Structure 1
Amino acid sequence: MKMRGGVPNWLLENNTNLQELFLVNNSLSGPFQLPIHPHVSLSQLDISDNHLDSHIPTEIGAYFPSLTFLSMSKNHFNGSIPSSFGSMSSLQVLDLSGNNISGKLPSCFSSLPLVHVYLSQNKLQGSLEDAFHNSFELITLDLSHNQLTGNISEWIGEFSHMSFLLLGYNNLEGRIPIQLCQLDKLSFIDLSHNKFSGHILPCIRFRSSIWYSYLKIYPDRYLIREPLEITTKSVSYSYPISILYIMSGMDLSCNNLTGEIPPEIGNLNHIHVLNLSNNFLIGPIPQTFSNLSEVESLDLSNNSLTGAIPPGLVQLHSLEVFSVAHNNLSGRTPDMVPQFSTFNKSSYEGNPLLCGPPLSRNCTPEEEALPLPIRTSTDDIEESGFMDADVFYVSFVVTYIVMLLARVAVRSSVELYGRREISLFSTRGTCSQKRQQPKQSKYRASPILTLNQGLQLWQLIRYRADGSFLKKARLRSISMHHLHMQIVGWYRDHL
């Protein structure tokens, strides 16, 4: 039978030695009334999953100064977080998630010995700059699904115990700070649905499990109370508490990240979830991804990745969710071994140059034998082997003509069917927020490559074919098909 009405303060007023009070999952309603006198013995208070509303009492910290655990989640509280929380000098676990709390994060949090903080699914605004900069004992920080702005501060690297950093679904921006690489106990990081730019950090590390000895001193209620929602292929998956604390992963989807995927990411062989979808990533899928032996969900869709899908991915026997859709990939799809036989064509759609099952396009003999470039780290530099100049020039002319005709066809389609966004190479997925496109080249506004621009590009390649351009574009010792794709990529990125 569920309790109804207001919070029964008489339980506190008549029991001055009461240390724990749990009123979870009832039908309590109305504002949360403080007792007549401060209750210094109470160490744990949980009033979550009720129908309480109005503001959190301004003097709550003064009336419950000894709390180590406070959960007011899943109610209808509004207003700001009172600064009196700073009076709870022993508070280690704070859960205010699932309310309508607004305003900025109070600076008083920095003076508390917080270990687990859950403030997700509110309307919090402002930056992270002053809120937690001295909270060095933090293991879990969940600020997802708010309206936070600004950058991730560099002091994030001082959180040596941090395991779960959940900042998804905000308006954060800037580069992902390299100080995240100092977090050697990291288990899950969610920066999805923000406005982060720059490159993916190659130095980020993950632990295989977060069951540290110092975590075992806490009861289960001290850990994550809400399932973690992970979106991949436009489908949301919720991971319950029993699974979440023995898994690891990284979700950087729906940002403005650019550059190539660092091959070092493939060495994170303990992660279970990797979502890099809906960014502006280029280059090949690292062959090191075949080392992700425990990955269950891999989503690289809606980027501008090129090259072939590494055949070694078939070694990922735990893989259950997979998508490389809407990129510029070429060559054959992975062999239809048991786990890959469960992925339908939606996992590969939007890559016109892919072939093989489950796609309807069959592979040519040349595509069947297409070699793969090998890169094991971001420091690899190709130092030997030159392409025959005649082969290079012929390949360029053929590719240029094909691209010119294709662009004309696209322009004709626009004129015929009306002005709409048409992409020859990819159809970018839709994120929940408006994403800012990277700054475009001044030549990109032209619907087709002019003859003069074509001659300039020809001269550029001709006079640099023996050195720097080939090195930069990685055109040495590669097949005709890869040559075509590299020129296509150069054309798309520069014109």
Structure 2
Amino acid sequence: MGLFLHMLVLAIMMVSLQGWVPLGCLEEERIALLHLKDSLNYPNGTSLPSWIKDDAQCCDWEHIECSSSTGRVIELVLDSTRNEEVGDWYFNASLFRPFQQLEWLSLSYNRIAGWVEIKESLSSVQYLLLDGNNINKLVASRGPNNLRYLSLKNITTNGSSFQLLSSLGAFPNLTTVYLNDNDFKGTILELQNLSSLKKLYLNGCSLDENSIQILGALSSLKYLSLYEVSGIVSSRGFLNILKNLEHLYSSDSTLDNSILQSIGTITSLKILELVKCRLNGQLPIGLCNLNNLQELDMRDNDISGFLIPCLANLTSLQRLDLSSNHLKIPMSLSPLYNLSKLKSFHGLDNEIYAEEDDHNLSPKFQLQSLYLSNHGQGARAFPRFLYHQLNLQSLDLTNIQMKGDFPNWLIENNTYLKNLYLENCSLSGPFLLPKNSHMNLSILSISMNYLQGQIPSEIGAHLPRLTVLSMSHNGFNGSIPSSLSNMSLLRDLDLSNNVLTGRIPKHLTTSLCLFNFLILSNNSLQGAIPDSMSNCSSLQLLDVSNNNLSPRIPGWIWSMSFLDFLDLSRNNFSGPLPPTISTSSTLRYVYLSRNKLQGLITKAFYNFSTLLTLDLSHNNLIGTIPEWIGSLSKLRYLLLSYNKLEGEIPIQLCKLDGLTLIDLSHNHLSGDILSCMTSLAPFSALTDATIVETSQQYLEFTTKNVSLIYRGSIVKLFSGIDFSCNNFTGKIPPEIENLSKIKALNLSHNSLIGPIPPTFSRLKEIESLDLSHNKLDGEIPPQLTELFSLEIFSVAHNNLSGKTPARVAQFATFEESCYKDNPFLCGEPLPKICGASMLPSPTSMNNEDNGGFIDMEVFYVSFGIAYIMVLLVIVAVLYINPYWRRAWFHFTEVSINNCYYFVVDNLPILSKFRFS
């Protein structure tokens, strides 16, 4: 019986639910949607193909959202739906009348040019978006009287007057209006009838003093946004009238300093954000009148001077951000001691100074976040007020030279501390742990100090919740502590540039294996990379360079699917390169230089579309440069120097039109320098903003006669070619002029012939040019004096002739060594003076077919071979022909007899001339 009752109740509920649970959308709304589709497509559009006449489930159509309880349409998002070629759209607003519960209507970017009059109001619409249309007038009579949100971004109007704004009075209940990305110059914003307006967005607009005058009538306005406003906005138009404004936001705009002078009149302000507004001068006294201010953000301006004492009047202030200005801020923060509600102070990138008397007064505030970094003198010790802070969650004192032991008391006193940055603070002595385990500290960065001793073995037990640990550029010695494996959340570990020894512990990667970044470079670690690291599937950056690791590169490294940056350089790895690498890898930066790798350059990186940097220099690789390198479509940096490569440069390298640096020096390469590598105009500095370079990226390249390492963002600004110390022949391609952005070009120590192309003068940004130790001839082009960025120049040890370039600009600094061992070159700074009586050089007397000046070594060898050949021919002829042999012997015998009798007959005569 009980079961029957339950089933009966369930059946009744199901029947009753069928009366109101929609099985599809409402028929009247489905028909209205089809009419709307026809209107959008008039006269011959093809929009909204998924809206099918015979489909009853209109709530499943694209761009539509229905209510889960009533089945009625509540959202229509039809942005960019109408075909552009169809033309303007004058749509009938009555099409939306059937949608009685429509709340959100977006018709942006549909070339709406007008709105047909209707008497009925769209009473349910609260959000209306009409961005990017051609509307000149929005509505003639009545609009949606419940409309709260109106967006009119990037509207195109006919004529200078913005007639559209005059019709906004049809929406008296508007609370939020977006007028972003419009040109209001010369137009008065007629918004005075919007008595309910709370939020107004004018982001990206072009304003002038007239266009914002009427804003003063918006007595209900609480929020005003002026992001990226063009033109200087002054305060006369509105700031002294908006009495009830609570939040003013302006960023990346140009504001007149008068705004700062009158800002104090808006006493209702609670949040004031003036970011990157080119404000200068000192902090205005008027700020001190804002007793209700809770947040003040004036970062990234040109404000200078000291913190004004009257800031103590802002007793409601909770957040203060003055970062990236030119302020002088005392390390003690004494001007802010009276602000009892202050929770956050950001003073990064200002001048932080130490007061003469760091008083013992205790501040009224308990900060949660404090960010300071120094551009001035350093403090002598940790400021005393920090001893009284117990609620810190984030503390950044980067670049403040405080000198002293590591402040473990900061961690002990602030049990909620999450982030602690003490980089480059001149801290010394051992690294001290808090007495008890700290369960909240997530980021600890103490790099670039003078901390010494071993990393405490119990660090993992005392700081178990760390996600980021950076201890680089210190003097830590000993081994990597095993307790690091207790940090189960550790993602980034940087122990580089210390004196750590021993092996990379297996437990480090076995227990954690959640690493994103693992940096152990520039230590004295030994042994192999542990195989347990192969399970670290999330590893993105692995840098173990400049250690003593060996013997071979483990094969599993090449199959790590998320690895982006790999640096194994400056170790003792040997053996061949891997035969293949998984094409699913995301590797972009590969550094294997200065190891003992052997064998051919295999197809390991074949068709590796993500690779940006490939550095295999300073190894023992042999064979030729493989043709498949041309498949590395995104390659920008190719370094193969100091190997034993031979053969010619493959023409496939010409496909790499993104190359900015290539180093093939110190190999046994031969053939001509490919002109196509310059005719495609590669080797220009990176300008692609979509490529995000990692801060770990570096390049070792010899320029200005010095091997330099370029790091971080500077890599994007450098480009160069080094083909030196090979066996290249032929002429320098004249297409070299296409390398307009190149910084360094080194073709020295080859066998290049011909003249120096005059087009070198178009390399306007070149800083180092070395053509020495070749067989170049002709004159040095005088146009080279136009290279005003040139710092290193050498054409020594060639066959150049004529006069050296004029001693002007940069060429006035080049010494004799830059031109030496060119026999027919004259002029300063060489000792040989050019004159009219000088014999012309062989180059000037002979045509191009003569090949220039005679190579004496070749002449001596050819003369000796010819002499020997003549003697051999004479001997062969005498041996074969007996008649000529008898005649030769007879001639020789007669010649000897004649010489003998000549001497005997003349001997008495010669004796008369003897001295007694």
- What range is the shorter-chain TM-score in? 0.7 to 0.9
Counterpart position of 1:21: 493
The 1:153–1:275 alpha-carbon spacing in structure 2 relative to 1, beyond 3 Å, is same
Counterpart position of 1:210: 686
SS of the residue 1:198 aligns to = strand
Counterpart position of 2:862: 446
**Can you list the C-alpha shifts for 1:21-66, whole angstroms capped at 9, x where unaligned?**
111112221111212735342111111111101122244323x222
**Can you list the C-alpha shifts for 1:197-220, whole angstroms capped at 9, x where unaligned?**
11001111424322523322x541
Q: In the alignment, is the contact (CA less than 8 A) between 1:94 and 1:118 conserved in 2?
A: yes
Query: C-alpha separation between the residues in 2 aligned to 1:54 and 1:27?
Result: 16
Structure 1 residue 134 corresponds to structure 2 residue 607:
yes
Deviation at 1:238, TM superposition (A): 1.2
Specify the code of the residue in structure 1 equivalent to 2:672: H
Q: In the alignment, is the contact (CA less than 8 A) between 1:74 and 1:97 conserved in 2?
A: yes
Query: C-alpha separation between the residues in 2 aligned to 1:146 and 1:263?
Result: 33
Specify the code of the residue in structure 2 equivalent to 1:288: T
Specify the code of the residue in structure 2 equivalent to 1:330: S
Query: C-alpha separation between the residues in 2 aligned to 1:183 and 1:444?
Result: 45
Structure 1 residue 180 corresponds to structure 2 residue 650:
no
Counterpart position of 1:335: 806
Counterpart position of 1:470: none
Structure 1 residue 236 corresponds to structure 2 residue 706:
yes
Query: C-alpha separation between the residues in 1 aligned to 2:594 and 2:838?
Result: 48
Query: C-alpha separation between the residues in 2 aligned to 1:258 and 1:130?
Result: 28
Specify the code of the residue in structure 1 equivalent to 2:721: M
Counterpart position of 2:595: 122
Query: C-alpha separation between the residues in 2 aligned to 1:47 and 1:342?
Result: 43
- Give 1:106's match in structure 2, choosing from 570, 573, 578: 578
- Which has the higher Rg, Structure 1 or Structure 2? 2
The 1:121–1:184 alpha-carbon spacing in structure 2 relative to 1, beyond 3 Å, is same
The 1:168–1:367 alpha-carbon spacing in structure 2 relative to 1, beyond 3 Å, is farther
Deviation at 1:260, TM superposition (A): 0.6
The 1:78–1:110 alpha-carbon spacing in structure 2 relative to 1, beyond 3 Å, is same
Specify the code of the residue in structure 1 equivalent to 2:523: N
**Can you list the C-alpha shifts for 1:141-161, whole angstroms capped at 9, x where unaligned?**
111111111111111111121
SS of the residue 1:86 aligns to = helix
Counterpart position of 2:731: 260
Structure 1 residue 147 corresponds to structure 2 residue 602:
no
The 1:108–1:154 alpha-carbon spacing in structure 2 relative to 1, beyond 3 Å, is closer
Specify the code of the residue in structure 1 equivalent to 2:666: H
The 1:128–1:367 alpha-carbon spacing in structure 2 relative to 1, beyond 3 Å, is farther
Query: C-alpha separation between the residues in 2 aligned to 1:158 and 1:357?
Result: 49
Matches within 5 A, 1:60-79: 60-62=533-535, 64-79=536-551
Specify the code of the residue in structure 2 equivalent to 1:147: N
Counterpart position of 2:822: 351
SS of the residue 1:84 aligns to = helix
**Can you list the C-alpha shifts for 1:218-273, whole angstroms capped at 9, x where unaligned?**
5412x21xx523056xx324143254330111000000101111101132111010
Specify the code of the residue in structure 2 equivalent to 1:347: C
The 1:239–1:32 alpha-carbon spacing in structure 2 relative to 1, beyond 3 Å, is closer
Q: In the alignment, is the contact (CA less than 8 A) between 1:59 and 1:84 conserved in 2?
A: no
The 1:144–1:447 alpha-carbon spacing in structure 2 relative to 1, beyond 3 Å, is farther
The 1:288–1:369 alpha-carbon spacing in structure 2 relative to 1, beyond 3 Å, is farther
Counterpart position of 2:552: 80
**Can you list the C-alpha shifts for 1:94-144, whole angstroms capped at 9, x where unaligned?**
001111111111235444221001111111111212221132211111111
Counterpart position of 2:522: 49
The 1:47–1:452 alpha-carbon spacing in structure 2 relative to 1, beyond 3 Å, is closer
Counterpart position of 1:90: 562
Alignment coverage as a number of residue pairs? 389
Counterpart position of 2:429: none
SS of the residue 1:331 aligns to = strand
Q: In the alignment, is the contact (CA less than 8 A) between 1:65 and 1:87 conserved in 2?
A: no
**Can you list the C-alpha shifts for 1:46-99, whole angstroms capped at 9, x where unaligned?**
11111101122244323x222111000111112010112134211110001111
Query: C-alpha separation between the residues in 2 aligned to 1:312 and 1:34?
Result: 62
Query: C-alpha separation between the residues in 1 aligned to 2:687 and 2:527?
Result: 38
Counterpart position of 1:157: 630
Q: In the alignment, is the contact (CA less than 8 A) between 1:59 and 1:82 conserved in 2?
A: no
> Please, which runs of 5 or more residues in structure 1 have no aligned partner?
374-390, 408-422, 424-440, 454-495
The 1:206–1:44 alpha-carbon spacing in structure 2 relative to 1, beyond 3 Å, is same
Deviation at 1:6, TM superposition (A): 2.0
Query: C-alpha separation between the residues in 2 aligned to 1:367 and 1:113?
Result: 65
Counterpart position of 2:791: 320
Query: C-alpha separation between the residues in 2 aligned to 1:292 and 1:203?
Result: 17
The TM-score, its normalising length taken from structure 2, stands at: 0.40
SS of the residue 2:534 aligns to = helix
- State the percentage of identical aligned residues: 46
Counterpart position of 1:438: none
Q: In the alignment, is the contact (CA less than 8 A) between 2:603 and 2:628 conserved in 1?
A: no
Q: In the alignment, is the contact (CA less than 8 A) between 1:332 and 1:367 conserved in 2?
A: no
Deviation at 1:284, TM superposition (A): 0.8
Query: C-alpha separation between the residues in 1 aligned to 2:868 and 2:491?
Result: 81
The 1:86–1:298 alpha-carbon spacing in structure 2 relative to 1, beyond 3 Å, is closer
The TM-score, its normalising length taken from structure 1, stands at: 0.72
Q: In the alignment, is the contact (CA less than 8 A) between 1:336 and 1:357 conserved in 2?
A: yes
SS of the residue 1:301 aligns to = coil
Q: In the alignment, is the contact (CA less than 8 A) between 1:277 and 1:302 conserved in 2?
A: yes
The 1:359–1:141 alpha-carbon spacing in structure 2 relative to 1, beyond 3 Å, is same
Q: In the alignment, is the contact (CA less than 8 A) between 2:628 and 2:652 conserved in 1?
A: yes
Counterpart position of 2:756: 285
Deviation at 1:316, TM superposition (A): 0.7
SS of the residue 2:676 aligns to = coil
SS of the residue 1:100 aligns to = coil
The 1:6–1:251 alpha-carbon spacing in structure 2 relative to 1, beyond 3 Å, is same
Query: C-alpha separation between the residues in 2 aligned to 1:206 and 1:102?
Result: 34
Query: C-alpha separation between the residues in 2 aligned to 1:336 and 1:208?
Result: 29
Counterpart position of 1:274: 745
Query: C-alpha separation between the residues in 2 aligned to 1:337 and 1:451?
Result: 52
> Please, which runs of 5 or more residues in structure 2 have no aligned partner?
1-450, 452-474, 870-916
Matches within 5 A, 1:361-380: 361-365=832-836
Deviation at 1:327, TM superposition (A): 0.5
Deviation at 1:7, TM superposition (A): 2.0
SS of the residue 2:481 aligns to = coil
Deviation at 1:167, TM superposition (A): 0.8
User: Over aligned residues, Cα RMSD in angstroms?
Assistant: 3.1
**Can you list the C-alpha shifts for 1:166-201, whole angstroms capped at 9, x where unaligned?**
111111111111111111111110000011111001
- Name whichever of 78-87 and 92-101 sits farther off: 78-87
Q: In the alignment, is the contact (CA less than 8 A) between 1:206 and 1:271 conserved in 2?
A: no
Q: In the alignment, is the contact (CA less than 8 A) between 1:102 and 1:125 conserved in 2?
A: yes
Deviation at 1:392, TM superposition (A): 7.4
Deviation at 1:285, TM superposition (A): 0.7
Matches within 5 A, 1:391-430: 407=856
The 1:53–1:284 alpha-carbon spacing in structure 2 relative to 1, beyond 3 Å, is same
